[in-house]
Each structure stands twice: as structure tokens, then as C-alpha cells.
Structure 1
């Protein structure tokens, strides 16, 4: 998806969003996704939820919509500027989500989750600009030499494999806690949403 969410996370007990930098002995080194880009250590006790692992429940119990796809739908419908904010009315927020996910589960997706979605979309759109998908390269026609009786063997292309890749008080938190290591390599890399349909979440108080 044009919005890259793999290295972005919500962390319990810490407002806003963060970019994961690397794991540390007592937690995770993160960088705030704001103008200051402040680096700080998120304690190991805080739950780290990767945005790329968060999904929104739909009325089909077997289906959820990944946050990356939700962001893509919002962009295609509204552009980089979301029509709602966490302070918008309940009617505006529910209408907003219904506009991008008509069949979202009204029972399992709470108003607090939609507010979180609006907030997260605003932050990501501001600090991680939307990247248009690259157009597929046109296939080059094999060249033929005059007078040549044999065709040069065509090189086989290997298809690139697609890599797939917020805390007790974060109802749409679904990412796993980053394991702490002494010297982990630097990492390059969702409201009412759900991780995978198999994980349960708590309702925000």
C-alpha cells in the first residue's frame, strides 16, 4: 500500500504514534511521529501495536479490513485531509467510517476506535505523505538482428515475493510486543479496530 505502516506503532501509555528504531535491553527505542521527532525508550511493560497488524471488524465474522487498506480507501475518497477529527460529532464519525467501510461491525467497532482512526490517519498523512503506486514498467520487446536465424533465449524473470510483514488501554491494539534484545538491528520499518479476527481486544474506558 502507498501508506507505509510497517514500522509505525501505537504504544500503550504514550499518546500519538511512533516509529520503531530498535529494540533495547529494557524496552524499545522509538521516535515520535511529529515535528520534534523525539527519540525515547518505550518500557518493556508497554504494549507496542504495529499499525500494519491492526484491522477493522466487518459484519462478516471471518473478514476484517487491514488498516493499510482502510487508509487507502480514506485517501481515495477524501484525500490526505480527513473530513473528521477526534472532536467531530458521533454522527459525523460513524458516517465517515461507513463511507469507507459500509459493512463495518457496529457492535464491535466503538466510537472511541473511530476517533483513534481519525487521529492516526491525520498523523500519518502529515508526516508520511501518500506515495503513488509505481506504474508497472513496460515490457521490452526482444530485439531481432537482421539475418539472424535463431532467436536469443528469453531471460526468465523471477517474480518478487511480496513481503508481509496500543496496550491494555488501547482497544484496537493487536500488535505483539517487540522482544527486547541487547543489540538488535535497527528496524526499518490501528478507532475501533481489531488485530486479527482471532485476537480479542478490550473496550477503551
Structure 2
């Protein structure tokens, strides 16, 4: 199961595929039928990669991909409006029942229902550092960081040059007006 590049965005329902990044934010494409493109602001939007999400366990954390695999083996999912605790005990044995809330279970089942029909759900996770889009994003970020550092160095250097060239400040004379 290849969950690389699939993200959940705080404050937005559904799942998104990370398409790219520009200076304003992340470019995301909705995984629903509408395939809407969204630019999520870098400064105030939180993205959670499904590949990195884990569920609290009593001993070890359980990866979301492992839970999805067990749900897939099971075949069907219950209605998200019903009690999901018995179902979740089967697909995620050993999860911490106090820390994993019903809303978390509902979200996981909903995500599974969104992903199960997509081709990436049956793909194997690549062993490479990332998809071509992610590699390109990482390269662009490194290039942008270098550009920012060189621009900051140049502007700091020009500020130093300006201070060296500027004329000394004139002494202010103290005058007072009497009798006004």
C-alpha cells in the first residue's frame, strides 16, 4: 500500500494528494470525485502524511498502513455512525482504548473508504526517498533555502558597505529660546 504523498489537512475534510509547492503554500489535489486543487498556506496549515500516522498502542504504536491492510483483509467496513469499537479491536488489536477516541476510529474508516478504490492502494510502497513530486519539492526547498541565505548575506553585506560610506552625523547644537 503506497500512502506516500497522501495528506490530511487540518480544518479540511477528506484527503489530498501533495502535487507541489510554491512560495505561498502546498498545492494539493482532492482525492474525492471532484479532484479540486487547493493551495494550503505554509504558515498556518498543518499537513499530516498518512504514511507517518500511527495509532496509540498499549505497547507499541500501530502504523496506519497496517490497520488499512487488516481492514482490507476483513473485506467490509461498518457504517461510521455505528459503534466502531468492536470492529477496531479486530483490525487494530493492542490499540490503547483510552487514547484512541471514537472520532479517530471514524476518521480512519472514512479514510479507508476513500482510498480503497484508488490505484495507489494496491501499489507497493517504493523504497526510494520519495515520489518524483516529493523529490522535486525537496530539491526546490533546498534551492529556495540557499537563495534566501545568499540574498540575506548580500543584503547584510550591502548594509555594512552603506554604513562605512555614510558621512559622520553632525553634532546637534543645543539652543534654547528664552522669553517665549
Tell me the SS of whatever aligns to 1:15.
Answer: coil
1:118 and 1:74 map into 2 onto residues whose CA distance is: 9
Relative to 1, partners in 2 of residues 1:27 and 1:64: Cα closer, same or farther, differing over 3 Å? same
Cα deviation code 1:159-193 (max 9, x no counterpart): xx93466xxxxxxxxxxxxxx999559xxxxxxxx
Tell me the SS of whatever aligns to 2:26.
Answer: strand
2:119 and 2:103 map into 1 onto residues whose CA distance is: 23
Aligned 1:120-199 pairs, distance under 5 A = 120-128=111-119, 130-131=121-122, 162-163=127-128, 183=140
Relative to 1, partners in 2 of residues 1:32 and 1:132: Cα closer, same or farther, differing over 3 Å? closer
8 Å CA contact retained: 1:10, 1:17: yes
2:34 matched residue in structure 1: 36
User: Alignment RMSD, CA only?
Assistant: 2.6
Match for residue 65 of structure 1 among 46, 62, 66: 62
Relative to 1, partners in 2 of residues 1:55 and 1:100: Cα closer, same or farther, differing over 3 Å? same
Which structure would you say has the larger Rg? 2
Cα deviation code 1:130-155 (max 9, x no counterpart): 4276xxxxxxxxxxxxxxxxxxxxxx
Match for residue 85 of structure 1 among 75, 79, 97: 79
Q: Which moved more, 1:50-59 or 1:34-43?
A: 34-43
Alignment length (residue pairs): 134
Deviation at 1:120, TM superposition (A): 0.3
TM-score under structure 2 normalisation?
0.66
Relative to 1, partners in 2 of residues 1:129 and 1:163: Cα closer, same or farther, differing over 3 Å? closer
Structure 2: gaps of 5 or more residues: 131-136, 143-180
Deviation at 1:100, TM superposition (A): 1.1
2:18 and 2:129 map into 1 onto residues whose CA distance is: 17
Tell me the SS of whatever aligns to 2:112.
Answer: helix
Relative to 1, partners in 2 of residues 1:128 and 1:119: Cα closer, same or farther, differing over 3 Å? farther
TM-score under structure 1 normalisation?
0.59
1:127 and 1:162 map into 2 onto residues whose CA distance is: 20
Structure 1: gaps of 5 or more residues: 134-160, 166-179, 186-205
Deviation at 1:10, TM superposition (A): 0.2
Deviation at 1:11, TM superposition (A): 0.2
Tell me the SS of whatever aligns to 2:104.
Answer: helix
* Larger RCO, structures 1/2 (Cα 8 Å, 6+ apart): 1
2:129 and 2:85 map into 1 onto residues whose CA distance is: 30
